[in-house]
Structures are given as C-alpha cells and as structure tokens.
C-alpha cells in the first residue's frame, strides 16, 4: 500500500511561567522527561535519548501494556533560544513507520507568562488513519507541560 493522508493542526497555550522556563522545559533532558512521556500506567519507556541541538536527535520508545510498541524519532532543524524550535519526526508503531511530521514550536511573552504555539504538519502513511489522535495526544502533552511548569 502506498497511500498518504495529510493533516495539520495548531495548538496554543498560555502558561504562567517566564519564556526561559518554558523553553528550558523543551531543551533540558530532565525537564522534558517530566512531561514528554508515555503514561506510566499504560507503558514502559525502553529508550529515551535527547540531543537538543540543530542536527541533534531525540528518541522515545515505549512498550505499552497492550502489547503495542511506539517509537518517536526526531531531528532538530532550527533552534532559536527562547523563541523557536523546528523539528521533523518519524513515528513508528510496532516497527512500521506510520507518519512523518514537521513541528514548529514558538515561545512569546504574554503578560507575565508565555504563549506557546505548536503547529504540526504531518503525512500519515500506508493506510494509517490518524483520526485526530495526534492532535489529541499533543493537547494532552501540553497539559502535562503546564502541570510540570507549576511543580
């Protein structure tokens, strides 16, 4: 099968935290691990790697209790400290590539806090029907990011 389905979404959040702290939550490996993770009650992370630099790569593989294995592999293409992150990533499910995406994250001062905007453009491959799950999952991650910033 050689089908490709395209999709895109934009998510905005305003966090009660300074821009530098919100940016650090993406850039620092330990800070990112607090929110960018599989739910502990549903999966075990088997690989976590992060090299936050242009050309650097991240990877998060999780073995789910359901038996499914997911593998997020990204490469950073553009980083402007406290302003922007652009990365591309492949997503695998059970060893099969299901999507390729381009994500842009921007950080702007908003009052005493930070406006974060995540825009993702993806192509879903060979019959994988996303049905909005990527956007829902990203919304959940942004909620977890907000909770981690308050901790």
Q: Output the average pLDDT for the chain.
A: 94
Average of per-residue pLDDT across 101-113: 97
Average of per-residue pLDDT across 137-143: 95
pLDDT, position 132 = 84
pLDDT, position 1 = 59
Q: What is the pTM (predicted TM-score) of this model?
A: 0.93
Instruction: Quote the CA–CA distance of 91 and 118 in Å, as a whole number.
Output: 17
Place of tokens 């650090």: 24
What is the DSSP annotation of 6-25?
Answer: EEEEEEEEEESS-HHHHHHH
32-90 pLDDT, tens digit per residue, is 999 999 888 889 989 999 999 999 999 999 999 999 999 999 999 999 999 999 999 99
For the cut 90, the answer to whether the pLDDT of residue 17 exceeds it is yes
For the cut 70, the answer to whether the pLDDT of residue 131 exceeds it is yes
Average of per-residue pLDDT across 100-109: 98
At what angle are helices 133-150 and 19-27 packed, to 10 degrees?
120
For the cut 70, the answer to whether the pLDDT of residue 143 exceeds it is yes
For residue 73, what is the DSSP state? E
pLDDT, position 128 = 83
Residue 143 phi/psi, 5° resolution?
-65, -45
Do the beta carbons of residue 125 and residue 97 sit within 8 Å? yes
Q: How many helices (H) and strands (E) does the chain have?
A: 3, 7
Could you tell me the two tokens for 24? 């650090």
Domains of the chain and any CATH numbers: 4-150 (3.30.530.20)
Average of per-residue pLDDT across 103-107: 98
């Amino acid at each position: 099968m050689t089908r490709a389905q395209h999709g895109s979404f934009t998510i905005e959040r305003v966090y009660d935290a300074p821009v530098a702290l919100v940016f650090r939550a993406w850039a620092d490996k330990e800070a990112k691990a607090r929110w960018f993770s599989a739910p502990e009650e549903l999966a075990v992370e088997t690989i976590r790697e992060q090299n936050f630099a242009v050309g650097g790569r991240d990877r998060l593989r999780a073995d789910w209790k359901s038996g499914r294995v997911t593998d997020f592999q990204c490469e950073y293409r553009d980083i402007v400290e406290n302003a922007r992150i652009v990365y591309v990533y492949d997503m695998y499910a059970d060893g099969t590539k299901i999507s390729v995406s381009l994500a842009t994250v921007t950080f702007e001062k908003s009052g005493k806090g930070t406006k974060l905007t995540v825009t993702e453009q993806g192509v879903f491959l060979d019959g994988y029907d996303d049905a909005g799950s990527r956007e829902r999952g990203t919304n959940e991650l942004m909620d977890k990011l907000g909770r981690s910033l308050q901790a």
